[in-house]
Structure 1
Amino acid sequence: MKPVFTSESGTVKSLSNYFLQEFNEGRITDIANSQVLEEATEEEINGVASLAERCLRLHGEERPTMKQVETELQTLRTKRMNSSQPDLRNGEQMQPRSLTQRSRSARKLSAQLEGSQRRYSLEAEFLSSASLPR
C-alpha cells in the first residue's frame, strides 16, 4: 500500500495509522502480505509487528534505538534459523509450515546479511560515536 491511501469505505488513511489500528485490534495477520503469511510463523509476524509498533510511537524516548532494532531483528533471524535445525532433544526435525521454502528463504537472507553484520566492542562504539555532534 501507499503511505497515504483511500480505504474501501472511501476515507483517506495513513498507512502507519492503519497499521497501528489493526495491530491494536489484534488483526495484524489480516493485513500481512500473502508471501509473508506463507513464509513466516505467527510468532515472527507478531515480533516484527511489535517492533514496528514501537518504532511508530510519537515520543522519541518511547521508540527503540536503531541498535535495539538491529538486535531484535537479529534475534528474530536467529530464532528463524534455529527453527529449521533438527531438534536433538527428541531426535526429530521440527516441521514449520513450509520447511523447504523457509530454509531457502533463510539461506538467501543469511547470504544477504552476511556482509552487513557488524559487531562492535563497547570501546569501538564509544570511539565511533565520539565524532558525532551532540
Structure 2
Amino acid sequence: MKAQRLDIITTLLQIIIETILCFLPIEEATRTSILSREWRYKWTTIPMLVFLEDSVKEPNEERRLSSQKQMSDLECVRRYKDMRCKLFYAIYQVLLLHQGPIQEFTLMTMNAPDTCFEIDQIILHLSRNHTV
C-alpha cells in the first residue's frame, strides 16, 4: 500500500494558505486546483479577489496587435467585446464556485462605459451575499 505523502505547504493552516493564494493573480490561484485532491478547492475560500483585464488576453495578443497597426475600427470593437466577455465569464465562474466571505473585490483596468450591466450584476451579487 502506498503511503500518502503531504508536502509542507499542504499541512499549513487554511488561513495561511488563503493568505499565500491572495498574493497570486486569481488565474494562478485557481490553477492550484490541479495540484492534488487536497488542493482542488483551496482557492475557493480566498477572501480577496483581484481581476485584471489583461489576464484574459492571449499570450501573443500584444505582439499580434502591434503588428496589425491598420486594424479596422470594427475589428477593434469586436476584439474588445470578446475580451470583455471572457473577463466577465471568468468573474462569474469564480463567484459561482467561491465559498466563504469576500472581503475585497477588485476589477482593474476595465474600460467600461458609464453604464455596464455586468458590473451592476456583480455589485448586486456581492452586496447580497458578501461583506465587501
TM-score by length of 1: 0.30
* RCO higher in structure (CA 8 A, sep ≥6): 2
Per the normalisation by structure 2, the TM-score is: 0.30
